[in-house]
Amino acid sequence: MKCRALFLAGWMLLAAGGAAWAQENSGWKAAAASSKITPNGPMWMAGYASRTNPSEGVTQDLFAKVLVLEDDQGGRFVTLTMDLIGIPASLRSSVVEALQQQHRLPSERVFMNCSHTHCGPEFRVGKSLYLEVMDHGDNRGAEYGTWLAGELVRLTGEAIGRLAPAKVGVTHARCGFAMNRRLPTRLGYKNSPYPDGPVDQSVPVLEVQAADGKLLAVMFGYACHNTTLSFQQFCGDYAGYAQEYLEEAHPGTVALFVMGCGGDQNPYPRGKLELAQQHGRALANAVEAALTVTQKQAVKGPVKVAMGNVALPFALPPPKTELEKMAASKNRWEAAHASLQLKKLEVEGKLAESYDYPVQVVKLGSDFTLVALAGEVVVDYALRLKRELTTESTIWVAGYSNDVMGYIPSRRVLEEGGYEAGGAMLYTAHPGPWRPEVEELIIGKVHELHRQLAE
């Protein structure tokens, strides 16, 4: 009995310590909101070049979520997450311009992230070759993108209108279904499970409580492609189910998924709906475990944000004669990609030499930093930045943020070759792969912005 009493007393002290983060916080206001963004009818779907027909129904609705934080100085930070394949630069531009006009919200204080589900609509008109290659003459993608921009602005305004006192804490857990997918073989790197490859299985969690202690919102991340499924129905994949299960367990809570640097990571096993649900349950359980951690870190203000662009250089493209040969290829994607480059040469006289790549760094107080990287970032970036940014106790690195224009390989991946290194550029409007220095340029920009916020 004495041992049991000592155990209970110790547990109560730990629990009291876990609640302390909520007592420490003051000055925050917060609000969250959610909106269904499932297309109303059939649309061409994103993510797999093998698809040859539009969607055939809905297995799970897709959602946009917003979390607005306001510090005691009135500084706001808006997170917008979407169960979608990507974020075209044009979508972000439309949203931030409207938010600036309607709410005087600076563009750098808006963080947008997509789950990269491969069971959502194809709406990246001008950012992919789907319309040209499929030749289906369907304009619903453009119409959907216009509607989506307006809905994101409306949703953000709704949350801003409901800002109320809140408490913010951060913690983390782990989840094990993500695995590196770049399997080395004697013929090169194959898209297949590679258990010895680099991986980031951490689950960062930002918990927001209302003043009365009720869970208002939970934002959580994971670095893994949402590619459990490849069928013809709309579905949020594992991330959609994780959010659904958390909201079922905590009525009235908004659960927001933030995709990490999962460009070279896949969920395993995969291929069946029940596996997406299983992975979603595993991730939701990890978040629940994080919510019970007794030593949560209180997140204090103020909100400080820095954002800037860096020019990422492309490797030299093939000569015009080679592009002309490729344009006659029986591979419809290779032919379409080469034809597009030839059209650009004819109109502009040259091909793009670089891409204006956005980097965003957000500090909440002195101990929490969020790094938001654009594109399909491979895991090396998260692992490296967590090693190098050592001044804060929490470093959260997100990929697929603000602009998803293609894969962002590390120098290692570029040297190894394979799909993420350059093969996937075939499905974009870019002239070809990146040059080897892109990793140093991106990491250097992160450090520059991080130092700027420390001044």
Q: How does pLDDT run across 183-198, given as a tens digit for each residue? A: 999 999 999 999 999 9
**Residue 378 in tokens:** 């491979």
Q: Are residues 279 and 324 in the same domain?
A: no
Average pLDDT over residues 141-158: 94
What mean pLDDT is predicted for residues 377-393? 93
Q: What's the pLDDT at 136?
A: 56
The identity of residue 77, as a single letter, is: F
Between CA 69 and CA 30 the distance in angstroms is: 5
pLDDT at 7 over 70: no
Let me know: does 218 contact 253? Beta carbons within 8 Å: yes
% of the chain residues with pLDDT over 90: 78
Per-residue confidence (pLDDT) for residue 33, from 0 to 100: 98
- Regarding whether 231 and 326 lie in a shared domain, the answer is no
Based on the domain organization, do 233 and 335 belong to the same domain?
no
Q: Does the reported pTM lie above 0.85? A: yes
**Position 204 in a domain:** yes
Q: What angle do CA 156, 160, 161 make, to 5 degrees?
A: 115
Which residues contact residue 40 at a Cβ distance below 8 angstroms, ignoring those fewer than 6 apart?
none
In a domain, 236, yes or no: yes
d(CA 277, CA 283): 10
The verdict on residue 380 lying in a domain is yes
Angstrom distance (rounded) from CA 302 to CA 283:
30
pLDDT digits (tens, 9 = 90+) for 362-373: 999 988 999 999
User: What is the distance between the alpha carbons of residues 76 and 119, in angstroms, rounded to a whole number?
Assistant: 32
User: Within this chain, do residues 204 and 269 fall inside the same structural domain, yes or no?
Assistant: yes
Does residue 442 sit within a domain? no
Facing residues of 68 across strands? 31, 78
| Boundary-marking domain end, from 364, 386, 402 | 402
Domain assignment present for 5: no
**Boundaries of domain holding 41:** 22-300+373-402
Same domain assignment for residues 290 and 335: no
DSSP, residue by residue, 6-32: HHHHHHHHHHHHHHHHHHH--S-EEEE
User: What's the whole-number mean pLDDT along residues 146-152?
Assistant: 96
Domain assignment present for 367: no
Alpha-carbon distance of 315 to 363, in angstroms, equals 34
Q: How confident is the model at residue 422 (pLDDT cuts 50, 70, 90)?
A: very high
Are 246 and 329 in a shared domain? no
CA 187 to the chain's CA centroid: 31
At 8 the pLDDT is 41
The answer to whether the beta carbons of residues 194 and 416 sit under 8 Å apart is: no
**Residue 1 pLDDT greater than 50, yes or no:** no
Overall average pLDDT of the 20-30 stretch: 71
Does 5 score more than 50 pLDDT? no
- The pLDDT of residue 392 is 76
Q: Quick check: is 446 in a domain?
A: no
138-160 mean pLDDT: 92
Q: Convert the pLDDT of each residue in 291-301 to its tens digit.
A: 998 678 889 88
Q: Name, of 272-276, 420-424, 429-433, 450-454, the range with top average pLDDT.
A: 272-276
Total domains in the chain come to 2
Which band of pLDDT confidence, cut at 50, 70 and 90, is reported for residue 278?
Answer: very high
Please name which of 323, 324, 311 lies closest in space to residue 352, comparing C-alpha atoms.
Answer: 311
Q: Are residues 263 and 332 in the same domain?
A: no
Average pLDDT over residues 421-445: 94
Edge to edge, the sheet with strand 368-373 lists 303-313, 354-364, 368-373, 394-398
The answer on 236 and 106 residing in a single domain is yes
Mark whether 57 and 148 lie in a shared domain.
yes
Mean pLDDT of the chain: 91
User: Same domain for 168 and 252?
Assistant: yes
Which residue would you say has higher pLDDT here, 331 or 69? 69
Judgement on whether residues 211 and 334 belong to the same structural domain of the protein:
no
123 & 165 share domain:
yes
Tell me whether residue 197 is in a domain: yes
pLDDT tens digits for range 334-367? 998 998 899 999 999 999 999 999 999 999 998 8
